[in-house]
Amino acid sequence: MARQQTDHLFKLIKSLTKAEKRNFKLYVNRIGDRENIKFLSLFEAIEKQVIYNEQEIILKTPSIKPSQLSNLKANLSKNLLTSLRLMAQQTDVDIMLRQQLDYAKILYNKALYQQSLITLNKAKLQARKVHREILYFEMVEFEKLIESQYITRSIESRADELTLESDALNISISLSASLSNLAIRLYGFYIKNGHIRNEEDQIVLTNFFHRYMPSFEVDKLRFYEKIYLYQSHVWYYLILQDFTMVYRYSSKWVELFNDNPEAIRNQSDLYIKGINNMLDGLYFSQDYVRFEKTLQKLKEIRDEGNILMSKNVELLLYQHYYTHSINWHFMEGRFTKGTELVGEIVKFLDENEIYLDNHVVLVFYYKIACLYFGSGDNRNTIKYLNLVINFKDVELRGDIQCFARILNLIAHFEMKNFDLIEYLVKTTYRFLSKMEDLHRTQKELIFFLRRLPNTPPEDLNEAFKVLLKELKKLAREPYEKRPFLYLDIISWLESKISGIPVQEVIRTKRLKGSFEA
C-alpha cells in the first residue's frame, strides 16, 4: 500500500485501454519512419513494466542509447497524445469544438474567409448548445478578426451583433470565473481543515464567503454560472456543518444536469460529483430513505454504462460508490458486513495508485479503520489507523489525522494495551494541541482514557456513564458537533455500558429512528 513516485510517461501508458494501444500502433505504422520504430520499441518496453525502471529499458532495448532516451520519451509522449486526440475527437465535445476552430483558422490563413466563417458559425451553434462559453467567446473574437478582413454588405449590422455578443460573453465568463474561484478556495479550506472548529472559524469563513460572492441576477445565470454558484454553497454549508443546506444545493446542482441531458453526457464528472455531495448531505443528516435511493442511482450509473466512461469518470464513480457504501453500513450498523468490502476497496486503491490523490487514499484508510472498529476487530482498526497516522503530509485533512489518533487510543484501550495508553495519550494530546484542534470533547476523552487503566473494574461502568452524560451535553453545542461526525463516540459508550456490541447499538437506534446524542 506504499505510495510511490511514478514517471509521467509510465502513468500515461498504463492508463491506456486495449483499443487505445491498438490505435496507437496503427497510427505509428501510418506515419512510420526509422525514428518511429525506436519510440515504438520504447512504448513496448514501458508497457511491460510493473514499476518504471529506465536502466531496465536500456538493458532490454539495445536499439535505444542512454543519450537518446530523453528525446525518445518526449517524442513518444507527443505521439501518444496525438493518437489519443484523434480517437477522442469523435466523442469529446471540447476536442471537437477546438478542431472546428482549428479548421476555421486554416481556412482563414488560406484567405478563404467565407468558408472560415461558415465553419465558425456551425461551431458556435454547438458551443452555445453545450454551454462552452470560453470556446464560444474565442470563436466570436476570431469571427470579428475575419469580418475585419472580409468586407460584406452587412458588415455594419454584423459588427454591432458581434460586439453585443462579445460583451455578453465577457460578462458571463467573468462571473463564471469569480464563482469558480470562490468554489475552489472553499474546497481548499475544507481539504486542509475539514469542518469549522470554533466561532472564529465561522466568522472567518462567513466573511470570506460574502466578501467574494459576486453580484448577479439569478434569472440571467447560465448553466456553468449556476453550477459554480451551487458548488460554492455546497462547500460553504458543508464546512459549516449545515447538512440540510448541503443537500438542498447539491440537489439543485443535480437537477440542473437532469434538465440538460446532453450536459450529463459531456460533463459526467461534474454530474457524479453533484450526486456525491447529495449523498454527503443525506449521510450526515441521517436521512436513510433518500440516502438509499440516491446510492442506488449512483450504482445504476456505474453498472448501466449510459454515460461516457473515461478513466476519470470511472475512478470517480467507483471512489464515490465505495465511500458511500461504507457510509451506508455505518448508518445501518452493519460493520461486520461492511468489512467484506475491504478487499475490493484495497484492490481498487492498489490498481489505481498512480491516479488517486493522497486525500482520497487517506479518507479510505480512515473509513476502513472505522468499519473494523465497529465490527470489534481492533487489530485491523489499528493497522489502518497507522496508515493514516504515518501519512507524511499531516497538513492534509488535519481533522482526520486528529480523529485517527483519538480512535487509535480507544482501540488500544479495547485491546487492553494499558502499557501503551500513557504514551499514546501524551503524543495524541501534543499532536492535537499543535494542530489547534483540541475540542472539549477530545479533552474529555483523552483525560478519561488516561485514567481508565487505574480505574477499579467495579467502577468502570459508572465511569462510562459519567462520560456519556457529559458528551451528550457537549454534542448539543454548535462547535462541539464536529468530533461526533468522525466517530460515533456516544454509541461506543452505550455499548460499553450495556455490554452489547456497538454495531447492535447503532442498528437498534436505526430501527427506532433515533440518533439522539
Neighbours of 201 (CB within 10 A): 17
pLDDT per residue as tens digits for the range 33-75: 666 677 888 999 999 998 899 999 988 888 888 888 888 999 9
pLDDT at 458: 86
Q: How confident is the model at residue 437 (pLDDT cuts 50, 70, 90)?
A: low
Q: Would you say residue 266 has pLDDT above 80?
A: yes
Q: Which residue has the higher pLDDT, 453 or 281?
A: 281
Q: Would you say residue 396 has pLDDT above 70?
A: no
pLDDT at 516: 47
Average pLDDT of 289-308?
Answer: 87
Q: Flag whether 13 is in a domain.
A: yes
Q: Burial of 414 by CB count in 10 Å (0-12 exposed, 13-18 middle, 19+ buried)?
A: middle
Q: Would you say residue 414 has pLDDT above 60?
A: yes
Residue 333 and residue 362 in contact, taking contact as beta carbons nearer than 8 Å: no
Residue 439 and residue 484 in contact, taking contact as beta carbons nearer than 8 Å: no
Residue 83 and residue 61 in contact, taking contact as beta carbons nearer than 8 Å: no
pLDDT at 517: 40
Average pLDDT of 461-481?
Answer: 86
Q: Flag whether 316 is in a domain.
A: yes
> What one-letter code names the amino acid at 475?
A
Residue 387 and residue 401 in contact, taking contact as beta carbons nearer than 8 Å: no
pLDDT at 225: 94
Average pLDDT of 228-241?
Answer: 95
Q: Would you say residue 369 has pLDDT above 60?
A: yes
pLDDT at 90: 82
Average pLDDT of 27-36?
Answer: 73
pLDDT at 149: 72
Buried residues in 362-387 as b, exposed as e (16+ CB within 10 A): bbbbbbbbbbbbbbebbebbbebbeb
Domain span including residue 84? 8-88
N-terminal to C-terminal alpha carbon distance within the chain:
37
Q: Burial of 112 by CB count in 10 Å (0-12 exposed, 13-18 middle, 19+ buried)?
A: middle
pLDDT at 192: 77
Q: Flag whether 300 is in a domain.
A: yes
Q: Flag whether 471 is in a domain.
A: no
- Cα–Cα distance between 206 and 186 in angstroms, integer? 11
Q: Which residue has the higher pLDDT, 480 or 129?
A: 129
Choosing from 327, 342, 375, the residue where a domain stops is 327
Q: How far is CA 232 from the centre of its chain?
A: 15
Q: Would you say residue 125 has pLDDT above 90?
A: yes
Compute the chain's Rg from CA coordinates.
Answer: 28
Q: Flag whether 190 is in a domain.
A: no
Q: Flag whether 288 is in a domain.
A: yes
Residue 325 C-alpha cell reads as 457504501
pTM (2 d.p.): 0.82
Q: Flag whether 265 is in a domain.
A: yes
pLDDT at 406: 86
- Cα–Cα distance between 228 and 207 in angstroms, integer? 19
Choosing from 301, 327, 353, the residue where a domain stops is 327
pLDDT per residue as tens digits for the range 444-467: 888 888 887 788 888 888 988 998
Tell me the pLDDT of the chain averaged across its residues: 87
Residue 60 C-alpha cell reads as 532490454
Average pLDDT of 128-144?
Answer: 91
pLDDT at 6: 59
Q: Which of 117-121, 157-161, 246-250, 491-495 has the highest mean pLDDT?
A: 246-250
Average pLDDT of 409-417?
Answer: 89
Neighbours of 165 (CB within 10 A): 19
Rounded to the nearest 5 degrees, what angle is found at the Cα of 363, between the Cα atoms of 273 and 274? 10
- Cα–Cα distance between 459 and 462 in angstroms, integer? 6
Pick the range with the lowest mean pLDDT from 83-92, 197-206, 304-313, 506-515: 506-515
Name the residue among 11, 18, 20, 13 with its Cα closest to residue 85.
20
Residue 373 and residue 381 in contact, taking contact as beta carbons nearer than 8 Å: yes
Q: Which of 181-190, 225-234, 387-396, 505-514 has the highest mean pLDDT?
A: 225-234
Residue 368 and residue 342 in contact, taking contact as beta carbons nearer than 8 Å: yes
**Share above pLDDT 90 across residues of the chain, in percent, rounded to a whole number:** 46
DSSP states along 223-289? HHHHHHHHHHHHHHHHHHT-HHHHHHHHHHHHHHHHT-HHHHHH-HHHHHHHHHHHHHHHHHTT-HH
Average pLDDT of 300-305?
Answer: 82
pLDDT per residue as tens digits for the range 171-204: 889 999 999 999 999 988 887 777 887 888 899 9
Residue 457 C-alpha cell reads as 473494574
In the Cβ-directed half-sphere of 514, how many Cα atoms lie within 13 Å? Answer: 5
Average pLDDT of 354-380?
Answer: 92
Residue 236 C-alpha cell reads as 460553504
Q: Flag whether 270 is in a domain.
A: yes
Neighbours of 16 (CB within 10 A): 18
Choosing from 298, 327, 356, the residue where a domain stops is 327
Domain count across the chain: 2
Name the residue among 422, 421, 419, 446 with its Cα closest to residue 432.
446
Q: Would you say residue 480 has pLDDT above 60?
A: yes
pLDDT at 514: 52
Q: Which of 49-53, 315-319, 416-420 has the highest mean pLDDT?
A: 315-319
- Cα–Cα distance between 63 and 42 in angstroms, integer? 9
pLDDT at 240: 93
Q: Would you say residue 502 has pLDDT above 70?
A: yes
pLDDT at 3: 46
**366: phi > 0 → left, psi -120 to 50 → alpha, else beta; which?**
alpha
- Cα–Cα distance between 89 and 63 in angstroms, integer? 34
- Cα–Cα distance between 5 and 226 in angstroms, integer? 38
- Cα–Cα distance between 185 and 193 in angstroms, integer? 12
pLDDT at 477: 82
- Cα–Cα distance between 447 and 421 in angstroms, integer? 11
pLDDT at 434: 78
